[in-house]
Amino acid sequence: VLFLPLLACGPAPAAGGLATEANAPASPYAFDVRLTLTPRAAEKLVSTKERIIVAGMYWGAPNAAAKPTADEMGQIPLGEDFVEVAAESATITVPAANFDPVQLPNVEGAPQVLVNVYSARKTHEDNLLDCGIYEGPVSMAQKQPVDIQCDLINWPDGMAPN
């Protein structure tokens, strides 16, 4: 049995990449995430004063001319937002405040977004959440809130962080 403790986790937010709903300007690439926590996940996060990061990482498939400039995943990065929120079920706006439209001429087709949710690592060095993800066209994410459900990671006996 292989145990993957980093399931549904992501990087710590880069300096300057943290967006909040209150300071986010309107963007044509913004969308909402409907975040649902299980009761045990909410209880653990609240009791330890931990917060949540909702990450929106934008990308596009390179057109023929841009293929040599694609990243290691073969994609053209279009920016990323890290929205820090309280540990509760809520609808969160991912503002696309860091979306870079300058790269759009290098993209074939519609811009895509990967949505990843994980604990903010304010009080724990490890991610505590096992969350679903969304990856697909930004336009689909805008049609209705993206549903992301989170529970606590099921750690093997003796391995759970305190």
Which residue shows structure tokens 């087709």? 109
Q: Which of 106, 89, 83, 3 is nearest to 46 (CA)?
A: 89
DSSP string, 95-119: --TT--GGGGGGEEEEEEEEEEEEE
User: Kind and range of the H or E element at 47?
Assistant: helix 39-47
pTM over 0.85: no
- Give the pLDDT confidence score for residue 26 in this predicted structure: 74
Q: What are the pLDDT tens digits along the chain (162 aa)?
A: 333 333 344 444 444 455 544 454 579 999 999 999 999 999 999 999 999 999 999 999 999 999 999 999 999 999 999 999 999 999 999 999 999 999 999 999 999 999 999 999 999 999 999 999 999 999 999 999 999 999 999 866 656 665
Q: Which of 34, 63, 60, 71 is nearest to 114 (CA)?
A: 60
CA 17, distance to chain mean position in Å, is 12
Other C-beta atoms lying within 10 Å of the C-beta of residue 43: 13
- Give the pLDDT confidence score for residue 160 in this predicted structure: 61
- Give the pLDDT confidence score for residue 161 in this predicted structure: 63
% of the chain residues with pLDDT over 70: 80
For the chain, first and last CA: distance in Å? 23
Which residue shows structure tokens 């057109």? 63
